[in-house]
Chains A and B, each alone.
Chain A
Amino acid sequence: MSAFIKDLIELPFLQNAFLAGILCSIASGIVGTYVVLRRITYIAAAISHCILGGLGAARYLSVVYDLPWLRPVYGAILTALAAALTIGIISLKAKEREDTVISALWAVGMATGVLFIFKTPGYNEDLMSYLFGNILMVSREDLYLIGILDIIVIALTLTFYNQTVAVCFDEEFARTRGMAVEFYYLLLLCLTAMTVVLTVSVVGIIMVIALLSLPVAIASRFFDRVWKIMAGSVFLGMFFTLTGLAVSYTPNLPSGAVTIVLAGGSYMLTLLFSALKKPTAKTAA
């Protein structure tokens, strides 16, 4: 641990990783709360897997046509937004086919990504870092992107807090009040898409959904207001990513996996704790 702190002071890449953990947790804690309350974790999971297609395509084009400015994350952003809008519009128009579309995007996105990565000349070890994340490879530019996303998420949440909570609580009633329910839903999906893309650098495509939902699941056991759960999730997210980074650093373990195991283990402990506490809670009620 002392080696970690010493390196953190000296090494810029470790500082970037540290900042990435903090900044990602802000967006993922707030957006994750909406995702869990609105019960669309499976949509977030589909978007996260789908972006492998965008990552792979952008990298392929960048290498084959020598376009150094075309970073994989741009491809991921485009794919994620397209997937979010596709799923959103289809679920608003034809509710019964929603799950089929989600599964299709999920799998086809991944398949496309694998094909592009396979055909890209040179080393293909990127696939592993896309799938499982590598927080140590986060660049300054990634940090700016995550920072901008945080500002957007915080500003929108402060502005539309009451409306978004009302829509998550009772969409039909919100509609009878003349509120633009569709707008809020698509906005939420787009924010989810952006959050997923930028969190992928920390924990990877496969584990993003855990970082979105587990802090919220834990926080909602302790708090009974939406904004408190958001704040709690942000802090839990920071705690898990930074602890994951620190613990994995010296033994050279994959930090994304350590982060998720920490979060999952804490969730289990919370469940166990509530199960033990339950009998007393019942007599009180």
Chain B
Amino acid sequence: MSQNAILKLTDVNFAYENTDLVLENINLEIENGEFACIVGPNGGGKTTLLKLMLGLLKPTSGSIEVLGGKPADRRAHIGYVPQFSKFDASFPVSVLDVVLMGCLQADLFWGRYPKGMIEKAHAALGTVGLPDLAMKGFAGLSGGQKQRALIARALMSDPKILLLDEPTASVDVHGTEQFYRLFSEMNEKFTIMMVSHDIGFVSTRVKSVICVRKTLQIHPVSELTGDSLRSMYGIDVHMIRHDHRCTEKGHVCPHS
């Protein structure tokens, strides 16, 4: 095991109750400072993998280590950004309220949020580019703005790893590029892992791509060619089992 591994999955299998394996024999090490993108077909297990790392699901067998401990014990250092589209579109909260939810912990504060937290929330909104929208209603934001507010919420816990679930779904191409610029900036401070379906665009900024379709393979970005994509999305019906792991750092980023 490498000394720098911030996240380590060993022989992980996962199945929802009484169903076939969703994830099979997953071995994965993520190093500190990584910017990885999890891709794969619908139902391939991307979001399940993310939830396992968050400790929301427990593996059927195998072990998961995050920051040297169990995911559930390291939650305070894991930032999580879900898809904005799953929320009640008219939920009556302000943007600031949403961001402040990021500092709620198991140990309660009673009543109001402390002043320091409110200042921190304003700063987080500045980081994601929404400094003026704090008192606006969350319901009235555009999709991209909601996603930014949710990123700000995740920043409240000073994460060492940020996990994002399809952050650029329903954001247009121009907006997507802005998001990746934001992720690149944040990646200088902490590790980022995201689930995404749009591989072509992701490739230009992320450092490595993890393909999940029940089993897992890791590609350096340069290797992500038509062939490997075709095999991932399964034109032939055989189960693909790529048990190899690329050892070299697959860092190709033409724009930087």
Contacts and interface: CB of A to CB of B under 8 A. Distances in A.
Interface stretch (B76-84, B209-217, B235-243): B76-84
Nearest to A33: B92
Contacts of A175: 56
A282 interface: no
Contacts of A223: 92
B97 A165 contact: yes
Interface residues of B, dominant DSSP: loop
Contacts of B137: 224
Given A161-B111, A163-B104, A169-B87, A176 B92 contact: no
A179 B102 CA distance: 11
Interface string B82-122: 10000110111110011011101110111111000000000
Contacts of B56: 172, 175-176
Given A162-B100, A170-B82, A285-B140, A179 B105 contact: yes
Interface string B131-162: 00000010110000000000001000100000
Nearest to B137: A224
A195 to B, nearest CB: 20
B219 interface: no
Contact of A177 (B82, B94, B105): B105
Contacts of B58: none
Of the four ranges (under 10, 10 to 19, 20 to 34, 35 or more), the interface on chain B belongs to: 35 or more
B104 A166 contact: yes
A169 B90 contact: no
Given A166-B104, A178-B75, A285-B140, A173 B80 contact: yes
A158 interface: yes
A2 interface: no
Chain A interface bracket (under 10, 10 to 19, 20 to 34, 35 or more):
20 to 34
A160 B112 CA distance: 10
A82 interface: no
A285 B82 CA distance: 26
A179 B98 CA distance: 16
A178 B105 contact: yes
A89 interface: no
B98 A169 contact: yes
A172 B82 contact: yes
A169 to B, nearest CB: 6
Interface in B35-70: 54-56
Top 10 A-B residue pairs of the complex, sorted by shortest distance between their CB atoms: A178-B106, A166-B101, A224-B137, A176-B80, A224-B92, A178-B75, A176-B54, A177-B104, A226-B92, A166-B104
Interface of B: 54-56, 72, 75-76, 78, 80, 82, 87-88, 90-94, 97-98, 100-102, 104-106, 108-113, 137, 139-140, 153, 157
15 contacts: A37-B91, A37-B92, A158-B111, A162-B101, A165-B93, A165-B97, A169-B91, A173-B101, A174-B104, A176-B80, A177-B104, A177-B105, A180-B106, A224-B139, A285-B140
Given A170-B87, A179-B106, 14 more contacts: A161-B111, A163-B104, A163-B108, A166-B101, A169-B88, A169-B101, A170-B101, A172-B82, A173-B80, A177-B104, A177-B106, A220-B90, A224-B139, A285-B140
